[in-house]
Amino acid sequence: MSTSPSRPRLAALDGLRLVAALAVLAFHYVGVKVPYWGVPSSVEFPGLNEVARYGYLGVNVFFAISGFVILMTAYDRSIESFAASRVARLFPAYWAVVVMTAVLQQFWTEGRNPSFSDALVNLTMTQEAYDVVNVQGAFWTLWIELKFYLLIGTFILVGMTRRRVLAFAVLWPLLGQIAAVTGSGFLNSLLIPTYAPYFAAGMLLYLLFRERHDVTTWLALLLNWVLCVRQAMAYGDRASDLVGAPVVPLVSALVVTGGLLAILVCSVGVVSRISWRWLTFAGALTYPLYLVHGQLGFFLIDTLQPDMGSYAVLAIATAASLVLAYLVHVVVEKPLSPRLRRAVAASLEQESSPR
């Protein structure tokens, strides 16, 4: 595949990531049924709940953005460089939040209350593989991300070309659908059939960003859009159970479609040339915000709600999550991530060098 000229960071895509993170936060705080408000969120926040009940689809949009960004990260890089960048990006903030959450849940009895051994397993980010409880409910997505990274790492090893990426982005979701129908536990775990179309759609959007807008790529994207819409609509009943109020499948389909279109708009044309620094900063807060908002927010809601108005508590929980995300980024990620990346890269390069 030809190498395209270097491009500026897509600040608008950073902004979209923060929007997706805030959508997930809104879903957890006022969309889904949680016991901390005393009554269902649909009763306590009837207006907000009408919108926030679709916030879970922010995760789906996250996966599509990951397909775009991780493929961009992987192109023209060695496996050592790719692995080091992913470890440095994921683990420093994650380790900090696991420790903070484990400490919080030692004295907040309404939380998940993981054991010490559960918290230790969580530090590996592979707890889903061992059926160990996540110390934060949102951590389930990280196991899916890790499996996607392994697939991309394999791609780097065999050689990444445009034709191979295109074939993979078509065959992977289709094979995933077959695995889902046949009920193969191993293939379901490996191929991630529920979310493969989102990652694949993001990869195809990156191809459109990087190179020519050929008909084949658009057709492959159309196929994955159909699979994404199908998944979003099929999940409606499950989402309705979580919310305790109807989740309309057509609205879910429109949200997913809007998310994919937003990625396209953020990566091409006038919007892609936006370079506002605050958007890049907003993007940097996205990952720590996603990590911290769950149990911290629920703790504040559970503690403050009996004595304060619900909207004030919601504002405090949201603001506290943003502040803590900022602190994790500044105190943990900024100093530790570059050091960890260099250390991992050096170690992997030493292991791979001839002896």
Rounded Cα distance between 210 and 165, Å, is 12
Rounded Cα distance between 227 and 194, Å, is 9
Encode pLDDT of 6-34 as tens digits.
Answer: 445 788 999 999 999 999 999 999 999 88
Encode pLDDT of 159-179 as tens digits.
Answer: 988 999 999 999 999 999 998
Give the residue, 68 or 6, on which the prediction is more confident. 68
Distances (CA, A) of 320 to 17, 138, 215, 224: 19, 17, 47, 37
Q: What are the φ/ψ torsions at residue 184 (nearest 5 degrees)?
A: -75, 115
Residue 299 has pLDDT above 90, yes or no: yes
Residue 250 has pLDDT above 90, yes or no: yes
Q: Average model confidence (pLDDT) for the chain?
A: 91
**What integer pLDDT is reported at residue 1 of this predicted model?**
42
User: Within its chain, how far is the Cα of 260 from the centroid?
Assistant: 14
Q: Map out the domains of the chain as residue ranges.
A: 11-349
Residue 129 has pLDDT above 60, yes or no: yes
Encode pLDDT of 137-151 as tens digits.
Answer: 899 999 999 999 999
Residue 241 has pLDDT above 50, yes or no: yes
**What integer pLDDT is reported at residue 334 of this predicted model?**
95
Q: Which residues contact 48 (CB under 8 A, 6 or more apart)?
A: 26, 30
Residue keyed to tokens 């420790």? 99
% of the chain at pLDDT higher than 90: 73
Residue 351 has pLDDT above 90, yes or no: no
% of the chain at pLDDT higher than 70: 96
